[in-house]
Structure 1
Amino acid sequence: MIKSSLPQILSKDSSGDAILFRLFIAANLPFFNGHFPEQAVLPGVTQLDWAICLGCQHFGYPHNIATLEVLKFQQLMLPDSEVTLEISENKAKTKLIFSYFDGEKRFASGRLALATESTHISEAS
Protein backbone atom coordinates (compact mmCIF):
# COMPACT_ATOMS: atom_id res chain seq x y z
CA MET A 1 0.00 0.00 0.00
CA ILE A 2 1.35 3.40 -0.96
CA LYS A 3 -0.45 5.36 1.77
CA SER A 4 -1.27 8.35 -0.39
CA SER A 5 -2.89 11.41 1.08
CA LEU A 6 -6.66 11.38 0.78
CA PRO A 7 -8.70 13.70 -1.45
CA GLN A 8 -11.15 16.24 -0.09
CA ILE A 9 -14.19 14.44 1.28
CA LEU A 10 -17.25 16.55 0.46
CA SER A 11 -19.71 14.27 2.24
CA LYS A 12 -20.14 10.79 3.64
CA ASP A 13 -23.22 8.75 4.28
CA SER A 14 -23.26 5.34 5.88
CA SER A 15 -26.04 2.81 6.13
CA GLY A 16 -25.58 -0.70 7.47
CA ASP A 17 -22.76 -2.47 5.70
CA ALA A 18 -22.01 0.32 3.17
CA ILE A 19 -20.61 3.85 3.14
CA LEU A 20 -20.69 6.49 0.40
CA PHE A 21 -17.99 9.16 0.14
CA ARG A 22 -18.39 12.10 -2.23
CA LEU A 23 -14.85 13.10 -3.20
CA PHE A 24 -13.35 16.14 -4.92
CA ILE A 25 -10.34 15.18 -7.06
CA ALA A 26 -8.39 18.48 -7.05
CA ALA A 27 -6.06 19.22 -9.97
CA ASN A 28 -3.24 20.12 -7.56
CA LEU A 29 -2.98 16.62 -6.06
CA PRO A 30 0.60 15.39 -6.53
CA PHE A 31 -0.63 12.11 -8.09
CA PHE A 32 -1.35 13.93 -11.35
CA ASN A 33 2.27 15.04 -11.81
CA GLY A 34 3.67 13.26 -14.85
CA HIS A 35 0.65 10.98 -15.17
CA PHE A 36 0.30 11.99 -18.10
CA PRO A 37 1.71 15.17 -19.69
CA GLU A 38 -0.97 15.35 -22.45
CA GLN A 39 -3.92 14.75 -20.10
CA ALA A 40 -3.58 14.36 -16.35
CA VAL A 41 -5.21 11.16 -15.07
CA LEU A 42 -5.58 9.89 -11.49
CA PRO A 43 -3.49 6.70 -11.25
CA GLY A 44 -5.32 3.45 -10.54
CA VAL A 45 -2.95 2.67 -7.67
CA THR A 46 -4.07 5.91 -5.97
CA GLN A 47 -7.74 5.00 -6.44
CA LEU A 48 -7.05 1.58 -4.95
CA ASP A 49 -5.14 3.07 -2.02
CA TRP A 50 -8.00 5.47 -1.21
CA ALA A 51 -10.53 2.60 -1.24
CA ILE A 52 -8.31 0.52 1.07
CA CYS A 53 -7.62 3.39 3.45
CA LEU A 54 -11.20 4.66 3.72
CA GLY A 55 -12.74 1.18 3.79
CA CYS A 56 -10.42 -0.23 6.44
CA GLN A 57 -10.75 2.93 8.52
CA HIS A 58 -14.56 2.94 8.39
CA PHE A 59 -15.07 -0.79 9.01
CA GLY A 60 -12.28 -1.07 11.61
CA TYR A 61 -9.85 -3.34 9.77
CA PRO A 62 -6.06 -3.06 9.79
CA HIS A 63 -4.70 -2.07 6.37
CA ASN A 64 -3.66 -5.64 5.51
CA ILE A 65 -4.80 -6.83 2.09
CA ALA A 66 -4.42 -10.53 1.25
CA THR A 67 -5.55 -10.34 -2.40
CA LEU A 68 -7.15 -8.02 -4.93
CA GLU A 69 -10.09 -9.55 -6.74
CA VAL A 70 -12.01 -8.45 -9.83
CA LEU A 71 -10.19 -5.13 -10.17
CA LYS A 72 -11.55 -3.05 -13.08
CA PHE A 73 -10.76 0.43 -14.32
CA GLN A 74 -13.52 1.49 -16.73
CA GLN A 75 -13.01 5.24 -17.29
CA LEU A 76 -10.38 7.85 -16.51
CA MET A 77 -10.65 10.06 -13.43
CA LEU A 78 -9.65 13.57 -14.40
CA PRO A 79 -8.52 16.61 -12.36
CA ASP A 80 -11.10 18.87 -10.72
CA SER A 81 -13.87 16.27 -10.81
CA GLU A 82 -16.26 14.92 -8.23
CA VAL A 83 -16.86 11.19 -7.80
CA THR A 84 -18.66 8.95 -5.36
CA LEU A 85 -16.78 6.10 -3.72
CA GLU A 86 -19.05 3.37 -2.37
CA ILE A 87 -17.50 0.77 -0.09
CA SER A 88 -19.42 -2.16 1.33
CA GLU A 89 -18.37 -4.93 3.67
CA ASN A 90 -18.84 -8.67 3.34
CA LYS A 91 -18.07 -9.46 6.97
CA ALA A 92 -18.52 -13.25 6.62
CA LYS A 93 -15.79 -13.40 3.96
CA THR A 94 -13.67 -10.52 5.36
CA LYS A 95 -13.91 -8.58 2.10
CA LEU A 96 -14.50 -4.99 1.06
CA ILE A 97 -16.19 -4.19 -2.25
CA PHE A 98 -15.64 -0.74 -3.75
CA SER A 99 -16.89 1.26 -6.70
CA TYR A 100 -16.08 4.75 -8.00
CA PHE A 101 -18.87 6.38 -10.00
CA ASP A 102 -20.71 9.58 -10.82
CA GLY A 103 -24.33 8.92 -11.69
CA GLU A 104 -24.33 6.31 -14.46
CA LYS A 105 -20.63 6.85 -15.22
CA ARG A 106 -18.45 4.06 -13.76
CA PHE A 107 -14.75 4.69 -13.13
CA ALA A 108 -13.36 1.74 -11.17
CA SER A 109 -14.43 -1.16 -8.98
CA GLY A 110 -13.00 -4.12 -7.18
CA ARG A 111 -13.08 -6.52 -4.28
CA LEU A 112 -10.43 -6.64 -1.56
CA ALA A 113 -9.84 -9.78 0.50
CA LEU A 114 -8.46 -8.69 3.83
CA ALA A 115 -5.69 -10.57 5.61
CA THR A 116 -6.74 -12.29 8.83
CA GLU A 117 -4.75 -14.25 11.40
CA SER A 118 -5.68 -17.49 9.63
CA THR A 119 -4.39 -15.98 6.34
CA HIS A 120 -1.06 -15.18 7.98
CA ILE A 121 -0.82 -18.68 9.50
CA SER A 122 -1.53 -20.43 6.17
CA GLU A 123 0.96 -18.20 4.31
CA ALA A 124 3.68 -18.99 6.86
CA SER A 125 3.19 -22.75 6.50
Structure 2
Amino acid sequence: MIKSVLPQIISTHQQDDTITWRIVVDANLAFFKGHFPEQAVLPGVTQLDWAVKLGCQAFGYDANIASLEVLKFQQLLLPDSQVELSISHNKAKARLTFQYTNGDKRYASGRIVFRAALSGQ
Protein backbone atom coordinates (compact mmCIF):
# COMPACT_ATOMS: atom_id res chain seq x y z
CA MET A 1 0.00 0.00 0.00
CA ILE A 2 1.31 3.44 -0.96
CA LYS A 3 1.16 6.15 1.68
CA SER A 4 -1.11 8.98 0.59
CA VAL A 5 0.89 12.08 -0.27
CA LEU A 6 -0.52 15.38 -1.45
CA PRO A 7 1.00 17.01 -4.54
CA GLN A 8 3.37 19.97 -4.41
CA ILE A 9 1.27 23.15 -4.44
CA ILE A 10 2.73 26.04 -6.42
CA SER A 11 -0.06 28.54 -5.79
CA THR A 12 -3.56 28.84 -4.36
CA HIS A 13 -6.32 31.18 -5.46
CA GLN A 14 -9.75 31.53 -3.85
CA GLN A 15 -12.76 33.25 -5.34
CA ASP A 16 -16.11 32.97 -3.55
CA ASP A 17 -16.77 29.24 -2.96
CA THR A 18 -14.05 28.00 -5.34
CA ILE A 19 -10.41 27.31 -4.58
CA THR A 20 -7.88 26.60 -7.31
CA TRP A 21 -4.50 25.05 -6.60
CA ARG A 22 -1.71 25.00 -9.18
CA ILE A 23 0.05 21.69 -8.52
CA VAL A 24 3.06 19.74 -9.74
CA VAL A 25 2.57 16.05 -10.53
CA ASP A 26 6.12 15.01 -9.66
CA ALA A 27 7.56 12.06 -11.62
CA ASN A 28 9.08 10.68 -8.39
CA LEU A 29 5.72 10.01 -6.72
CA ALA A 30 5.32 6.36 -5.74
CA PHE A 31 1.89 6.34 -7.43
CA PHE A 32 3.61 6.11 -10.83
CA LYS A 33 5.50 2.89 -10.07
CA GLY A 34 3.91 0.08 -12.09
CA HIS A 35 1.06 2.23 -13.41
CA PHE A 36 1.85 1.54 -16.39
CA PRO A 37 5.22 0.11 -17.53
CA GLU A 38 5.06 1.63 -21.06
CA GLN A 39 3.97 5.11 -19.91
CA ALA A 40 3.62 6.20 -16.31
CA VAL A 41 0.15 7.59 -15.58
CA LEU A 42 -1.21 9.14 -12.36
CA PRO A 43 -3.98 6.76 -11.22
CA GLY A 44 -7.52 8.13 -11.13
CA VAL A 45 -7.87 6.99 -7.52
CA THR A 46 -4.94 9.26 -6.61
CA GLN A 47 -6.55 12.21 -8.38
CA LEU A 48 -9.77 11.55 -6.47
CA ASP A 49 -7.87 11.17 -3.17
CA TRP A 50 -6.18 14.55 -3.68
CA ALA A 51 -9.51 16.23 -4.46
CA VAL A 52 -11.13 14.74 -1.36
CA LYS A 53 -8.23 15.62 0.96
CA LEU A 54 -7.71 19.18 -0.28
CA GLY A 55 -11.47 19.81 -0.47
CA CYS A 56 -12.05 18.51 3.07
CA GLN A 57 -9.19 20.63 4.44
CA ALA A 58 -10.36 23.75 2.64
CA PHE A 59 -14.08 23.50 3.35
CA GLY A 60 -14.10 21.77 6.76
CA TYR A 61 -15.50 18.32 5.94
CA ASP A 62 -14.42 15.03 7.36
CA ALA A 63 -14.07 12.42 4.62
CA ASN A 64 -17.47 10.84 5.26
CA ILE A 65 -18.45 10.44 1.60
CA ALA A 66 -21.96 9.41 0.62
CA SER A 67 -21.38 9.15 -3.13
CA LEU A 68 -19.32 10.14 -6.13
CA GLU A 69 -21.17 11.57 -9.11
CA VAL A 70 -20.31 12.19 -12.77
CA LEU A 71 -16.73 11.01 -12.21
CA LYS A 72 -14.82 11.33 -15.49
CA PHE A 73 -11.19 10.90 -16.47
CA GLN A 74 -10.86 12.59 -19.85
CA GLN A 75 -7.07 12.64 -20.40
CA LEU A 76 -4.06 10.96 -18.86
CA LEU A 77 -2.14 12.89 -16.22
CA LEU A 78 1.54 12.24 -16.92
CA PRO A 79 4.65 12.64 -14.75
CA ASP A 80 6.09 16.14 -14.34
CA SER A 81 2.84 17.83 -15.37
CA GLN A 82 1.59 21.08 -13.89
CA VAL A 83 -2.19 21.32 -13.63
CA GLU A 84 -4.86 23.24 -11.78
CA LEU A 85 -7.17 21.51 -9.35
CA SER A 86 -10.30 23.61 -8.83
CA ILE A 87 -12.82 22.69 -6.18
CA SER A 88 -16.18 24.43 -5.78
CA HIS A 89 -18.22 24.12 -2.60
CA ASN A 90 -21.99 23.83 -2.48
CA LYS A 91 -22.67 24.09 1.27
CA ALA A 92 -26.46 23.62 0.97
CA LYS A 93 -25.96 20.23 -0.68
CA ALA A 94 -22.76 19.27 1.21
CA ARG A 95 -21.09 18.73 -2.14
CA LEU A 96 -17.75 19.53 -3.73
CA THR A 97 -17.26 19.71 -7.49
CA PHE A 98 -13.70 19.28 -8.72
CA GLN A 99 -11.81 19.44 -11.97
CA TYR A 100 -8.21 19.01 -13.07
CA THR A 101 -7.33 21.28 -16.00
CA ASN A 102 -4.48 23.00 -17.77
CA GLY A 103 -5.66 25.76 -20.06
CA ASP A 104 -8.38 24.23 -22.23
CA LYS A 105 -7.27 20.66 -21.45
CA ARG A 106 -9.53 18.82 -19.02
CA TYR A 107 -8.03 15.81 -17.26
CA ALA A 108 -10.63 14.75 -14.69
CA SER A 109 -13.78 15.99 -13.00
CA GLY A 110 -16.55 14.90 -10.67
CA ARG A 111 -18.69 15.62 -7.62
CA ILE A 112 -18.13 14.42 -4.07
CA VAL A 113 -21.27 14.26 -1.94
CA PHE A 114 -20.85 14.07 1.83
CA ARG A 115 -23.18 12.25 4.24
CA ALA A 116 -24.27 15.54 5.83
CA ALA A 117 -26.43 16.17 2.73
CA LEU A 118 -28.31 12.91 3.31
CA SER A 119 -28.90 13.32 7.01
CA GLY A 120 -30.15 16.88 6.78
CA GLN A 121 -27.35 18.27 8.96
The TM-score with structure 1 as length reference comes to: 0.91
Residue 4 of structure 1 and its aligned partner are, at CA, apart by 1.6
Distance 2:55 2:75 in 1: 21
2:19 counterpart letter in structure 1: I
Describe how 1:99-118 pairs up with structure 2 within 5 A.
99-116=99-116
List 4+ stretches of structure 1 deviating above 3 A: none
Gaps of 5+ in 2: none
Aligned residue for 1:56?
Answer: 56
User: How far, CA to CA, are the matches of 2:14 and 2:114 in structure 1?
Assistant: 21
Deviations 1:4-36 (A, max 9, x none): 210100000111100000000000000000000
Structure 1 vs Structure 2 CA RMSD:
1.7
Letter in 2 for 1:12: T
Q: Identity over the aligned pairs, expressed in percent?
A: 64
8 A contact 1:3–1:49 mirrored in 2: no
Q: Distance in 2 between matches of 1:71 and 1:3?
A: 23
Amino acid in the other structure paired with 1:80: D
SS in 2 for 1:54: helix
* Structure 1 segments unaligned to the other structure (5+ residues): 120-125
1:33 lines up with 2:30 in the alignment: no
2:96 matches 1:96: yes
1:62 maps to amino acid:
D
